[in-house]
Structure 1
């Protein structure tokens, strides 16, 4: 029996809109949904009760946290993450997660409860026009007012979220529609084959590569499969290509590989940036070469052809800023497999070039002699040896994130999640989403003291969901990134960036979790071991000197540089 016949056979009874919505999620293969409950979707909640053996409904404490969890699920699985929030304030809180998903190209479906459609345009309680609100943030926004169209529109939402450049879709569901009883069949995912490179694309790329002396492969984007990662890895190693990764895409290539040259983004090593500017061919696969990765759009000239082969699943993104020598529209995994199979490894003339870029990376990760009892770089490198081969890292926005990004190597099999749009408050809920998605894997979330008190209350969800992530709060008593910029432009005039914090170890202990405080280099690994052995959600508070504002400069050094003009 084909899928259509099976769906038609299933149309044997009337279902409420709430039941149809829950069944539509099942039909799309959804396994987890992250939600803060609201009166605007009580019937959907009732429908989810019926499918509780197939969809795990995770109750969260704040809508932004729920969407960050769903976004992390989407990043890790390649399938659209699902979040469900209520109207008005709930949707506004959720919007930051939609922005993360858009800039990170993460497949996501946000379902928003809506007012009764009979009250539209009366400025009724919590009324918002979501098409207008979310249109700049999402790939598509729709509203379902007719229960009979639920299977059609929900299937379309998932198709849009995962097609082309993946991203977020917002679906508003009016309140009374969820109570309507209709008889319609469910609709599953469309059986779509991935886009492959055009017939002449790979030969042309290899022709350009044959003429290069200083090539660099830059990896980015989402939706990579294990097979695709392995294929691009094998191609890079077979051709001795130096590999850099885009902003917060450290898990796309083994950081310990002799081909790995480092990451391009906020806090990148200046030596790597200089070498990429010298490259005579950049094969950019998956990365949009956005502002952070391109160092403020300075890596290549804007408005003229650059030595770039740009590979993306969405042709609208190719040439958006930088004009490439060659643009290839393709699914990233299909491209990687086609490239590997078309080009067996052979001797190449750029071995010394690759070694130079690797040397830059190795010099960058060498821990300096920082003043004080805590050398965070050395502590992190000692911690690296303690982590399992399939560990999942999450990071927040802030200067603290440049420490693990610079001094730790994300190895093959490990995952690394961070917000491309610089959203503070991402790491803790993203870590929870990761831990709930993969309950047998260690999750380590890095967050600053500012970001932790934005969404740190979501740690309560860990206890309810029965997972035990470890959160490392890097506490320097300030909004460190803003203080850094403040000192560069207005040295010594500290305004609005100091923070007063609680004892973060006691904070987690109040929930029944495990707390640790680290103030010296050799304390971090034992604290981590105790946290992991506890089997509880844990917080390790790392107390940093506010003077060491970045991993490259102190406040005093920034002020001295500013004084010189």
Structure 2
């Protein structure tokens, strides 16, 4: 066997060579002098790794996180030390709570300056410790391949999540003759035959079962296997909060989106079910509506919890049957299960399906422009094509209710509820899936948190479509304020620019829509412009701010809260 001596390379060259070996096709970055050797090393990989130069580190981080969601591979982001790292931390937190594979590289002061509070110095182990799967600093140039290989393994395996690696300048400028470490395939966890047999036994003994799917790491094959299992057993299926891409809503078993603002009948069905099979989801606070329809630590329902991280099983809910498996491994096992008798709950599933279909009919809304009808039209025009991204805000409840998402890569939504996510995510989607429409839903406040990333859409000729919901206030917080402090609105409104004009500065097309009849034509024009010109298009939606969510009005929230406060005060009054 012939052994070749590795070439002498600096740390930046070693690192970028290693990224290429691990299949990295794109890196998102805001350049910084602290990691210049890495930037320079990209020159030798122009044919394989595309650098996307972003405008602010939170936007770069969000794009990398969205890449992780779209590909199941770690999204890679480079930022500089100190301010760059703190700006990017919001994306790391998003990746952690969303279980998204991601690797953040941060330039760091040299080891000769460490622990002196040098310029922009931060201890990243302490800073990121609770929001990552692993955070480390590479102090030895020769160990870079080892750290990169481990970072990919940690980010992808088990419950996916973010890894943060700090890169001291002397490590990057240092030189070493070290061999690359070859990548290893993702490790899948599978259920045992006894666990599958126990699942079938419990299922066939149930009267009102429910299948809840969510989490990350899904493949088309896994989705098809789970869908076939649900069809064989006539199971009602819901998707966990903001995991709308996990199950095709056009299938007869789909009964709705589980979590905040779900329709009443679905909540009642979940409360009444006697067996909950949860695959891939933690059943977090938003999905459980504050741990209400499913109790912690001991659920009222029998719970079969399937999750790739054994430490999660039993941490919040004590399951009747815990299965340590990821969605791919578990889906493979489901193919062996066949019902031994006709499912008794088939009629219940069918009834729940009809109720779900009724929720797709737009509800009444105040004013000339109905946001319900807007999303209903978006669903009809797209017909399952493309990707819709959202940030945080009540405006996101409209696509979540009315749009029937078409599978993997069609929904990018932060379960952590981070604002400013929608635009960077839409850009990442268009980079990864250039042939598919990329639609960003953004509140006027949410949009302005990262609107500078329109520069990326301009620079790389990305035809995204942005729908800006302009109501001149922090709407979600206003709804909370009216609930808790009715009639005392303060510090929640703002004056907006004319967004339809602003987009023109980025070479884009903009329109203002304030009437139901005008939206569809405007939306079709925006889609056509984005695809033909490969530049961003924006529709500014001006509507009655009283329409705060599907079927809800701020005025009604205030009135109900005032009535409640009055009742409470009279009960406490002296006769």
Give the TM bin, normalised by the shorter chain. over 0.9
Measure how far apart 1:188 and its partner are. 2.2
Q: CA deviation at 1:183?
A: 0.6
Gaps spanning 5+ residues in structure 2: where? Answer: 565-575
C-alpha displacement at 1:61, in angstroms?
Answer: 0.3
C-alpha contact (below 8 Å) 1:389/1:413 kept by paired residues: no
SS at match of 1:363: helix
Q: Is the 8 A contact 1:13 1:183 kept in 2?
A: yes
Counterpart of 1:443 in structure 2 is 438
Structure 1 distance, partners of 2:185, 2:440, is: 36
Between the aligned partners of 1:58 and 1:495, the Cα distance in structure 2 is: 40
1:239/1:345 contact within 8 Å kept: no
Deviation at 1:41, TM superposition (A): 0.5
Q: How does 1:219-258 map to 2 (within 5 A)?
A: 219-258=213-252
Partner-residue secondary structure (3-state), 1:347:
coil
How far did residue 224 of structure 1 move?
0.3
| Alignment partner of 1:142 is 2:136 | yes
* Residue equivalent to 2:102: 108
- Give the alignment partner of residue 343 of structure 1, picking from 338, 341, 351: 338
Preserved contact between residue 383 and residue 524 of structure 1 (Cα < 8 Å): no
Q: Distance in 1 between matches of 2:443 and 2:39?
A: 35
Q: Counterparts of 1:454-469 in structure 2 under 5 Å?
A: 454-469=449-464
Post-superposition CA distance 1:10-33 (Å, at most 9, x none)? x43101101001011111111110
2:531 is the counterpart of 1:537 = no
2:549 alignment partner in structure 1: 550
- The partner residue of 2:127 within 118, 133, 138 is 133
Note if contact 2:70-2:409 (Cα within 8 Å) is conserved in structure 1. no
Matches within 5 A, 1:326-341: 326-341=321-336
SS of residue in 2 equivalent to 1:135: helix
Q: What number of residue pairs does the alignment pair up?
A: 559
Alpha-carbon separation, structure 1, partners of 2:507 and 2:185: 46
Match of 2:376 in 1: 381
1:72-221 mapped onto 2 (5 Å cutoff)? 72-221=66-215
Match of 1:119, SS state, is coil
Note if contact 1:390-1:413 (Cα within 8 Å) is conserved in structure 2: no
Shift of 1:240: 1.1
Q: CA RMSD in A?
A: 1.5
Decide which of 474, 477, 491 is 2:486's aligned counterpart. 491
User: What's the CA shift for 1:414?
Assistant: 5.7
Paired with 2:155 and 2:140, the residues of 1 have a C-alpha distance of: 22
**CA pair 47-508 structure 1, distance change in 2 beyond 3 A:** same
Q: 1:334 & 1:231 partners in 2: Cα distance?
A: 11
C-alpha separation in 1, matches of 2:360 and 2:341: 30
Deviations along 1:407-453, one digit per CA (max 9) or x if unpaired, are 22113466111111110000100111111111121111111000000
Greater alpha carbon shift after TM alignment, 269-278 vs 477-486: 269-278
Structure 1, unmatched stretches of 5+, are: none
The question of whether the paired residues in 2 share the 8 Å contact of 1:505 and 1:514 is answered with: yes
Q: Distance in 2 between matches of 1:346 and 1:15?
A: 65
With over 3 angstroms needed to count, the CA separation of the structure-2 counterparts of 1:499 and 1:29, relative to structure 1, is same
Query: SS of the counterpart of 1:564?
Result: helix
Identify which range, 487-496 or 150-159, moves more after superposition. Answer: 487-496
| Residue of structure 2 in register with 1:560 after alignment | 559
CA distance in 2, matches of 1:301, 1:388: 37
Rounded to whole Å, the distance in 2 between the matches of 1:12 and 1:212 is: 62
Q: Secondary structure at the match of 2:43?
A: helix
For 1:270 and 1:97, locate their aligned partners in 2 and report how far apart those are by CA, in whole Å: 33
Cα drift, residue 563 of structure 1: 1.4
1:478 is aligned to: 473
Cross-structure match for 2:357 = 362
Residues 413 and 111 of structure 1: CA distance in aligned 2, closer, same or farther (over 3 Å): closer
- Residue in 1 that maps onto 2:393: 398
Q: Which residue of 2 is the match for residue 22 of structure 1?
A: 16
Work out which of the residue numbers 412, 415, 436 in structure 2 matches 1:417: 412
Report the secondary structure of 1:508's partner residue.
helix
CA contact (8 A) 2:246 2:408 kept: no
Q: State the secondary structure of the residue aligned to 2:357.
A: helix
In the alignment, the residues of structure 2 paired with residue 350 and residue 66 of structure 1 have an alpha-carbon distance, to the nearest angstrom, of 47
Q: Report SS of the residue matched to 2:502.
A: helix
TM-score after normalising by structure 2:
0.95
Whether the 8 Å CA contact 2:393–2:443 is kept in 1: the answer is yes
Q: 2:20–2:49: 8 Å Cα contact kept in structure 1?
A: yes
Structure 1 stretch displaced more, 392-401 or 256-265: 256-265
Q: Determine if contact 1:18/1:47 at 8 Å carries over to the other structure.
A: yes
Task: Provide the rounded CA distance (Å) in 1 between the counterparts of 2:148 and 2:340.
Answer: 45
User: Which deviates more, 195-204 or 334-343?
Assistant: 334-343
Distance in 1 (alpha carbons) for counterparts of 2:187 and 2:484:
52
SS at match of 1:200: helix
- Residue range with higher mean Cα deviation, 501-510 or 413-422: 413-422
Task: Provide the residue aligned with 1:514 in structure 2.
Answer: 509
What SS does the corresponding residue of 2:382 show, helix, strand or coil?
coil
> Is the CA contact (8 Å cut-off) linking 2:306 and 2:322 kept in structure 1?
yes
